[in-house]
Amino acid sequence: MNRGTKTIGAFAGAFVIAVGLGACSSASSSGSADTWKVGLEAPLTGDQATLGQGMLQGALLAADEVNKAGGIAGKNVEIVQIDDAAAAATGVAAANAAIADGLNGVIGPYNSSVGTQTLPLYEKAGLVPMRLTSDNSTEGMGFTLQPMTSQIAPVTATALYGFYGAKSVAILYDSTQNYTVSTSAAVKKDLEKVGVKVTSYQAITPGQSSYATQLQAAQAQKPDMIYSAVYYPEGATIATEITPRKAGSTNYRCLLDYASYDNGYIQDAGATIAPRCDVVGVPAPSDFPDSAAKVSAFQDMFSTAPGTWSPYTYDSLNLLLAGVKENNGWDSAQLTGYLGKVSEWQGWTGSVSLDAETGNREPATVVVTSVSDGEFHVDSDWAKAVGAPY
């Protein structure tokens, strides 16, 4: 099965809409003295295109609102698309081209393995990235509203042994990505620290049509839970192929990592299969308090529901532009100083405070989600068990 073709085909309409909006902005102001150019680096094509398009649309919505309100310092904001296709080499080429063409700021990237290569390029060009990477190897390079591995892994491990009550866990992980390698290792360490037996620790290669062999090997050890640190195309395949603990049972005892948390997982797996696995993630766009107006504005603009990461790029752009407005420009030292002092800034994703040294959000929100009626939502049983306000 060519999952990349399936993903691109399913979201061709959304892609055309996003390109059209970007083109309208570009046609009227590109290259003029009246435009601030902000790059949006994301996997806009390829297996993770669903995720990337949601990121792009979140930034486009924020830019549209800012421009309708008069822009920033008398200039409109243009979103420049930087497609990395979730591949470092592609990202480096796209980032270099965008930098050469002229950028004032940048949002992204999402994939940490790409970010380790492209974030230094942006910083060398004098930009202050608002990254969406989660691997701790990227901290200190710009700022992020996303949780990091050091924030995600403890919640994941605690959910496995505390919420699900697992005394044994099998782990599958994508061995090609910085984030999935580091997070799976951190979860394994945290589990073993409290006496949970890790029955197997298997690396998988993304892009395969089946992981049945790895799943059979993991399930043969009869673990209480299977935890998979993989991105959503692989997460969907695993959910499709995993078998319940007992014949006829609907209990699959499967937890997918944060890397699988995207609407693309539900679309690839299907609404019937997706609920087999809970997924570590963040609140859905409509789960955040007072989000109804933003969800409605997004739907009005794109005729579709927000993507998983749309609120994060929306907030990232607005927060970056708040710094530009405060400092009357894009000076990197001034922007860095401003962002490093952000405390309880309010956005779609809630209250934002940033650590000046790491650029990380402190604290970050990490939740366990479940799929119901074809949508992600914070798992109500988990929220009740840990006292989460969702």
| pLDDT at position 129 | 98
The CATH class that applies to domain 3-146+288-352 reads: alpha beta
Tens digit of pLDDT for each residue in 219-236?
999 999 999 999 999 999
Which of 2-16, 68-82, 270-284, 367-381 bottoms out in mean pLDDT, i.e. has the lowest?
2-16
Tens digit of pLDDT for each residue in 247-268?
777 778 999 999 999 999 999 9
| pLDDT at position 85 | 97
| pLDDT at position 33 | 73
| pLDDT at position 73 | 86
* pLDDT above 60: residue 127: yes
Q: Higher model confidence: residue 169 or residue 28?
A: 169
Q: Which residues contact 300 (CB under 8 A, 6 or more apart)?
A: none
Is there a shared CATH topology between the 3-146+288-352 domain and the 149-281+367-386 domain? yes
Three-state secondary-structure class, residue 190? helix
Q: Which residues contact 232 (CB under 8 A, 6 or more apart)?
A: 48, 50, 51, 259, 260, 261, 262, 264, 265, 268
Paired residues of 255 in beta bridges:
227, 278
Q: At what angle do helices 49-68 and 3-10 cross, to 10 degrees?
A: 30
Query: Using CA atoms, how far apart are residues 174 and 207, in angstroms rounded to an integer?
Result: 10
| pLDDT at position 390 | 79
- What is the domain partition of the chain in residue ranges? 3-146+288-352, 149-281+367-386
Radius of gyration from C-alpha coordinates of the chain: 20
Mean pLDDT of the chain: 91
Yes or no: say if 211 and 238 are a contact pair by the CB < 8 Å rule: yes
Tokens coding 364:
């970050």
pTM exceeds 0.85: yes
* pLDDT above 70: residue 25: no
Residue 217's pLDDT band, with cuts at 50, 70 and 90, is: very high
Yes or no: say if 136 and 148 are a contact pair by the CB < 8 Å rule: yes
Instruction: Tell me what the mean pLDDT of segment 328-341 comes to.
Output: 97
Tens digit of pLDDT for each residue in 147-205?
999 999 999 999 999 999 999 999 999 999 999 999 999 999 999 999 999 999 999 99
Query: Of 165, 228, 176, which is closest to residue 202 (Cα–Cα)?
Result: 228
Which of 20-24, 64-68, 297-301 bottoms out in mean pLDDT, i.e. has the lowest?
20-24
Query: Using CA atoms, how far apart are residues 189 and 196, in angstroms rounded to an integer?
Result: 10
Residue 389's pLDDT band, with cuts at 50, 70 and 90, is: confident
Query: Of 245, 299, 302, which is closest to residue 13 (Cα–Cα)?
Result: 302
Sign of the C-alpha dihedral computed for residues 9, 21, 77 and 294 taken in this order: negative
Give the amino acid at 369.
Answer: T
* pLDDT above 80: residue 19: no
Question: Quick one: CA torsion of 143, 70, 57, 45, rounded to 10 degrees?
Answer: -80
Residue 44's pLDDT band, with cuts at 50, 70 and 90, is: very high
Query: Of 199, 108, 109, which is closest to residue 160 (Cα–Cα)?
Result: 199
Query: Using CA atoms, how far apart are residues 114 and 86, in angstroms rounded to an integer?
Result: 7
Query: Using CA atoms, how far apart are residues 104 and 126, in angstroms rounded to an integer?
Result: 9
Paired residues of 231 in beta bridges:
none
| pLDDT at position 291 | 96
Instruction: Tell me what the mean pLDDT of segment 214-219 comes to.
Output: 96
What CATH code would you report for 149-281+367-386? 3.40.50.2300
Instruction: Tell me what the mean pLDDT of segment 67-78 comes to.
Output: 95
| pLDDT at position 23 | 34
| pLDDT at position 32 | 54
Query: Using CA atoms, how far apart are residues 96 and 82, in angstroms rounded to an integer?
Result: 10
| pLDDT at position 3 | 34
